[in-house]
Structure 1
Amino acid sequence: MAIKKQYLKSKPICKVTFTVPADEAETVAVVGDFNNWNPTASELKKLKNGTFKGTFELPMENSYEFRYLIDGNFTNDEEADRFQWNEYAGTENAVLEV
């Protein structure tokens, strides 16, 4: 898994690209604070090589909790900036700092 951040000089936005290698998966979405944990608004596109990829424009100077939803199962990105305990879910969420 990989996270790439591209800060725009023209506006306070960071383009964040999420890449998830999941050859066997049917669907992959990134859900989090930035999209109200809505998987239908954040599905990643499956590429020919089996990797899922998507880019989102997020306001800068914020932190966002997120997780990947791979075929209905939640998982964290080991390359996240940090991890935050989520009492509601009873597990840690990945955190993205932009």
Structure 2
Amino acid sequence: MAVTKKFLKTKPEVQVTFEIQPDSTESASKVYVVGEFAGWEPVELKKLKSGLFKTTINLPTNQQDSYQYRYRFILPDGSEKFENDVQADGYCGNPYGGENSVVCVLPQ
């Protein structure tokens, strides 16, 4: 799993690319990311010929008080399996007793 960020100079946004390697997907045919940035609705990652799953989402840098967004991956394998990103900027607790991954939208 990987998250890369590209900060835009012309808008208060950052392009966040979420990637998952084929060996992390447990042979899933589809992978989704859910997060605050999409109202916790699933966003499907596109499966490339290499087997890599990837999507890019533009996130505003001026709309969150904490300048971070919580998210998780869903790997459907008959049941939904929530996974945290090992390369996230951080983690925070959720109301279900687990943790969510965090992506920070401030330049470092």
Q: TM-score, structure 1 length as denominator?
A: 0.92
The percent identity for this pair of structures is 46
Q: More strand by proportion, 1 or 2? A: 1
Partner of 2:13: 13
Query: Where in structure 2 are there 5+ consecutive unaligned residues?
Result: none
Distance apart, 1:16 and its partner CA: 0.3
Code of the residue aligned with 1:97 in structure 2: it is C
Report Cα offsets for 1:32-62 as digits up to 9, x if no partner: 10001111xx100000111100000000152
Structure 1 CA distance, aligned partners of 2:13 and 2:101? 20
| Aligned pairs, number | 95
Code of the residue aligned with 1:92 in structure 2: it is E
Structure 1 CA distance, aligned partners of 2:48 and 2:16? 17
Code of the residue aligned with 1:37 in structure 2: it is W
Q: TM-score, structure 2 length as denominator?
A: 0.84
1:75 corresponds, among 69, 83, 96, to: 83
Partner of 2:94: 86
Code of the residue aligned with 2:7 in structure 1: it is Y
- Runs (4+) of structure 1 moved beyond 4 Å? none
RMSD after superposition: 1.1
Partner of 1:31: 34
